[in-house]
Amino acid sequence: MISIKSINSMEDKNTITGTPVSRIDGILKVTGKADYSTDHPIKNPAYAVIFKSTIAAGKITDIDTSLAEKSPGVLSVITHKNAPKLNTKGGIRGGAMLQSPDIYFYGQHIGVVVAETFEQARHAAHLVQVKYEKKEGKLDFEKLAEDAVLPKDKEKADAKRGDAKKALEIADVKVEEIYSTPIEHHHPMEPHATIAEWQGENVILYNSSQIVNGAQSAAAATLNLKPENVRIVSPYIGGGFGSKGGQWGNLVLAAVAAKMVNRPVKLALTRQQMFNSVGLRQRNLQKVSLAATKDGKLTALAHEITTHAAMQDEFVEPCGDCSKIMYDSPNSLITYRVVAMNLILPTYTRGPGKSTGSFALESAMDELAFKLKMDPIEFRLKNEPERDPSNGKPWSSRTTVQCLKEGAKAFGWEKRKAEPGQNQQGNYLVGYGVSCGTYPAHQRPSSANVKLKRDGNNVTATIELAAADLGTGTYTILAQTAADALDLPINKINVKIGDSDFPPAAGSVGSVGATSYANVVNDACIKVTDELIARSGKQFFVRPTAAKLMISENVSEFQTRADSKELEGAENYSSHSFNANFAEVWVDISTGMVKVERFLAVTGAGKILNPKTARSQIIGGNTWGIGMALTEESLIDPRWGNFATRSLADYHVPSNLDIGTMEAIFIREEDKAGNKLGVKGIGEVGIVGVAAAIANAVFNATGKRVRQLPITPDKLL
């Protein structure tokens, strides 16, 4: 059951922004008319199927494609022996582009079969015979963790304030524990898929891309083309969660295949292939040490992270970010150590670093509150920082206190029993848990066209920018924004996005999409009106709308382009979205099965452009957080380096029955330090803290502290 109880961000009188407009692309989607990447109608396509290495480290000594080539319908079999030379430093992530016989991870792409049908291609892929020279792989994280070293990434250098180790030594009360989070996979509903179509020297790539311009530049550089020779078309995206932010080998292999067979090619990954093709959320071991005085004032906060990256490349998710800014402690230490493994390159995964880091930090906060015999909300309030502790900057706005207080009231926190194991209902133990979360808020450079058209007295506007809609509601909020800025009804606005032929825009990544897109569209609409006023040469007492000017000045077509970036002075503030999460869990006493009966997220994320799509973002993030807490885990067999969890029957995302009552409340605020509209972004913050709230609730229910996700029944017996 899902209840709708969202509070609008502001009293937006007479504006359509801020109101719960249903998705303008909703009908297209539910009627199957939205053409996702490979749905795009294309004449005479061939089908490509990738095949993969079955060792984790070593090299291919022989690859025999003769049987596959003779198989019915096969047009071409591409391997490192006949693939064209590509630029492997062009920005495609994870290697695996058939450029050498070397193998760095199990399931690395080693070839592509192109055939008349998908079935023929898949069958022929089984007929390829590969011989390897196998090397011992680095596959056992538990053992390798001891050899982890300082990352190359400067952002991950040791960050010290005061002397946390010393403060821990002399502390009244402390917690020092290791929290473990498993490898997770993004598994968007739509697997990564591409149609590549060459037109002379130009290639069109219909491809699911969270960053349209990023996909364009990476594909161009890798294929040794100029960006203008590559067009990315990505009008609809069936989810991405970070895995479609950077682009992976499959994108350029589609282009290579299309070139080699001289025909458009469709290449879609299978669900099984998704496990080792498009990144993953890395395994993290996080030691969190907290010290406090007897009355609950933090004196030390240390967060020491050990994780893994790939053999050829490094990616370390910023698990220490929440610990940097959430609480006021005079002594702080954040460190990262990383070890290379024969595994696909980890990558951005919803709430990168914050969702995993907050599990460690917010669990430890709960553990320390318990030791202090303090209510965990009160404990957090007591350590609320006035300024960003990591850099001393003032907050552009910080809503943690409101989120906690309003949430406690709405959730009925007072019913929580402080002692664990005290609330039994039949065969269940019931517990309440709380946590906080945060995610940075930024506007990124973006440009947009607004094109006005008049037909008699009917004025319509078309908005164009290379933005992405991951299924989040970008189309809708941009139509709302333009409708208000132009003072036109929303049905007169035509939003066109997801095409690199449009003005360049930020990606729908890192929670910058809504802020960057809405602000540039707003700017473009104001600019077009300004330009129409200037063009009229008249002076107005009351600012006329663009539509009125088009009519009164008898203009039939008019357009402009705006280029926007974060407001000047934004860098003087620390800008973040904040939340507080409340979970009620029921734990089956005999079987250890956990049900999240109620979940409430209270979020302060600036101006909420559309409470309906915003709420979907939050409860979507919460739902993945429930998966992170209870069910999701990818397991490697260290003997081979393959994933033993290899389909959605083994990798458990929550089912409908796992989700109880979900409620989202937004704090009324506008934060205009960084952008004119006062928007902060909500894509990531919805998952941050969720796992900790649930683990804390499980502790409150049972007295068992689970520090190793996911909390499956066996861990509660």
Partner 1 sequence: MRPFKYTNAKNISSATKLLEGNVKAKFLAGGTNLLDLMKEDVEQPDELIDITRLDLAQIKIITAGANSGGISIGGLGRNTETANHPIIRQNYPLLTQAILAGASGQIRNMATNGGNLLQRTRCSYFYDVNMPCNKRQPGSGCGAMEGINRMHAIFGWSEKCVAVYPSDMSVALSALNAAVTVRNAGGQERSIAFSDFHRLPENKPEQDTNLNPGEIITAIEIPKNNFAAHSYYLKVRDRASYAFALVSVAAALELNSNKIVQARIALGGVAHKPWRALKAEKMLVGKEATEANFKMAADAEMADARPLEHNKFKVELGNRSIVRALQMAFNSGRS
Active site residues per annotation: 684
Contact yes or no for 128/77 (Cβ under 8 A):
yes
Choices 12-20, 395-403, 556-564, 639-647; region in contact with partner 1 by CB under 8 A: 639-647
Q: Which residues of 511-548 are buried (b: 16+ CB within 10 A; e: fewer)?
A: bbbbbbbbbbbbbbbbbbbeebbeeeeeeeeeebbbbb
Instruction: Specify the 3-state DSSP secondary structure of 344.
Output: coil
Q: Smallest gap, in angstroms, from Cβ of residue 55 to partner 1?
A: 9
Q: Is 146 in the site for partner 1 (CB under 8 A)?
A: no
Give the type of residue at 174: K
How many angstroms separate the CA atoms of 463 and 483, rounded? 11
Q: Smallest gap, in angstroms, from Cβ of residue 712 to partner 1?
A: 5
How many angstroms separate the CA atoms of 125 and 576, rounded? 48
In the complex with partner 1, the residue whose CB is nearer, 455 or 714, is: 714
Q: Is 646 in the site for partner 1 (CB under 8 A)?
A: yes
In the complex with partner 1, the residue whose CB is nearer, 132 or 315, is: 132
How many angstroms separate the CA atoms of 632 and 512, rounded? 26
Structural tokens at position 167: 């403060």
Instruction: Specify the 3-state DSSP secondary structure of 353.
Output: coil
Instruction: Specify the 3-state DSSP secondary structure of 73.
Output: coil
Listed in sequence order, the residues at least 6 apart from 615 whose beta carbon sits closer than 8 Å to its beta carbon are 4, 6, 664
The strand pair at 332-341 and 159-161 is best described as: antiparallel
How many angstroms separate the CA atoms of 437 and 355, rounded? 8
Judged by CB under 8 A, which of 37, 347, 631, 702 binds partner 1?
631
E strands present in 608-706: 636-637, 642-643, 659-666
How many angstroms separate the CA atoms of 480 and 473, rounded? 11
In the complex with partner 1, the residue whose CB is nearer, 44 or 425, is: 425
Judged by CB under 8 A, which of 81, 126, 294, 417 binds partner 1?
126
Q: Smallest gap, in angstroms, from Cβ of residue 303 to partner 1?
A: 29
The strand pair at 230-233 and 202-207 is best described as: parallel
**Residues 257 to 316 in contact with partner 1, rule: CB under 8 A:** 272
Choices 230-238, 468-476, 630-638, 674-682; region in contact with partner 1 by CB under 8 A: 630-638
3-state secondary structure 141-210: HHHHHHHCECCCCHHHCCEEECCHHHHHHCCCEEEEEEEEECEECCCCCCCCEEEEEEECCEEEEEECCC
Residue 554 CA, distance from chain mean position: 46
**Helix 611-630 to helix 690-702 angle, to the nearest 10 degrees?**
50
Q: Smallest gap, in angstroms, from Cβ of residue 568 to partner 1?
A: 49
Judged by CB under 8 A, which of 635, 668, 676, 704 binds partner 1?
635
Size of residue set near partner 1 by CB under 8 A: 37
Q: How many CB atoms lie within 10 A of CB 426?
A: 9
Listed in sequence order, the residues at least 6 apart from 266 whose beta carbon sits closer than 8 Å to its beta carbon are 38, 42, 45, 46, 47, 48, 118, 193, 194, 195, 254
Choices 179-187, 527-535, 554-562, 654-662; region in contact with partner 1 by CB under 8 A: 654-662
**Residues 32 to 91 in contact with partner 1, rule: CB under 8 A:** 54, 72
Choices 7-15, 432-440, 543-551, 647-655; region in contact with partner 1 by CB under 8 A: 647-655
Q: How many CB atoms lie within 10 A of CB 3?
A: 10
Q: How far is CA 227 from CA 217, 235, 467, in A?
A: 6, 19, 17
Q: Is 186 in the site for partner 1 (CB under 8 A)?
A: no
Nearest to 342 by CA among 2, 108, 536: 108
H or E segment to which residue 427 belongs: none
In the complex with partner 1, the residue whose CB is nearer, 189 or 717, is: 717
Choices 478-486, 494-502, 511-519, 641-649; region in contact with partner 1 by CB under 8 A: 641-649
Q: Is 650 in the site for partner 1 (CB under 8 A)?
A: yes
Judged by CB under 8 A, which of 18, 654, 683, 686 binds partner 1?
654
Judged by CB under 8 A, which of 23, 40, 123, 283 binds partner 1?
123
Q: Is 189 in the site for partner 1 (CB under 8 A)?
A: no
Judged by CB under 8 A, which of 160, 548, 565, 652 binds partner 1?
652
Q: Smallest gap, in angstroms, from Cβ of residue 126 to partner 1?
A: 5
Q: Is 637 in the site for partner 1 (CB under 8 A)?
A: yes
Handedness of CA 617, 93, 227, 83 (dihedral sign): negative
In the complex with partner 1, the residue whose CB is nearer, 118 or 432, is: 118
Listed in sequence order, the residues at least 6 apart from 10 whose beta carbon sits closer than 8 Å to its beta carbon are 18, 607, 668, 670
Q: Is 554 in the site for partner 1 (CB under 8 A)?
A: no
Q: Is 119 in the site for partner 1 (CB under 8 A)?
A: yes
Q: Is 224 in the site for partner 1 (CB under 8 A)?
A: no
In the complex with partner 1, the residue whose CB is nearer, 453 or 704, is: 704
Binding mask 360-399 for partner 1 (x = CB under 8 A): ----------------------------------------
Q: Is 129 in the site for partner 1 (CB under 8 A)?
A: no
**Residues 580 to 599 in contact with partner 1, rule: CB under 8 A:** 590-593, 595
Q: Is 69 exposed, middle or buried (0-12, 13-18, 19+ CB in 10 A)?
A: middle
Q: Smallest gap, in angstroms, from Cβ of residue 59 to partner 1?
A: 17
Listed in sequence order, the residues at least 6 apart from 524 whose beta carbon sits closer than 8 Å to its beta carbon are 448, 449, 450, 463, 560, 561, 562
The structure tokens 């001393």 sit at 392
In the complex with partner 1, the residue whose CB is nearer, 504 or 710, is: 710
Q: Is 542 in the site for partner 1 (CB under 8 A)?
A: no
Q: Smallest gap, in angstroms, from Cβ of residue 663 to partner 1?
A: 19
Q: Smallest gap, in angstroms, from Cβ of residue 631 to partner 1?
A: 5
How many angstroms separate the CA atoms of 484 and 481, rounded? 5
In the complex with partner 1, the residue whose CB is nearer, 118 or 248, is: 118
User: What is the arrangement of strands in the sheet containing 493-496, beginning at the earlier edge strand?
Assistant: 493-496, 458-464, 446-455, 557-564
In the complex with partner 1, the residue whose CB is nearer, 553 or 658, is: 658
**Residues 421 to 460 in contact with partner 1, rule: CB under 8 A:** 426-427
Helix residue ranges, H only, 494-592 = 513-536, 546-552
How many angstroms separate the CA atoms of 576 and 677, rounded? 15
Q: Is 534 in the site for partner 1 (CB under 8 A)?
A: no
In the complex with partner 1, the residue whose CB is nearer, 346 or 710, is: 710
Q: Smallest gap, in angstroms, from Cβ of residue 112 to partner 1?
A: 18
Q: Smallest gap, in angstroms, from Cβ of residue 3 to partner 1?
A: 19
In the complex with partner 1, the residue whose CB is nearer, 196 or 636, is: 636
Choices 233-241, 344-352, 538-546, 631-639; region in contact with partner 1 by CB under 8 A: 631-639
Q: Is 640 in the site for partner 1 (CB under 8 A)?
A: yes
Binding mask 693-712 for partner 1 (x = CB under 8 A): -------------------x
Residues of this chain that interact with partner 1 (CB under 8 A) are 54, 72, 119, 122-123, 126, 272, 426-427, 590-593, 595, 630-631, 635, 637, 639-640, 642, 644-647, 649-650, 652, 654-658, 712-714, 717
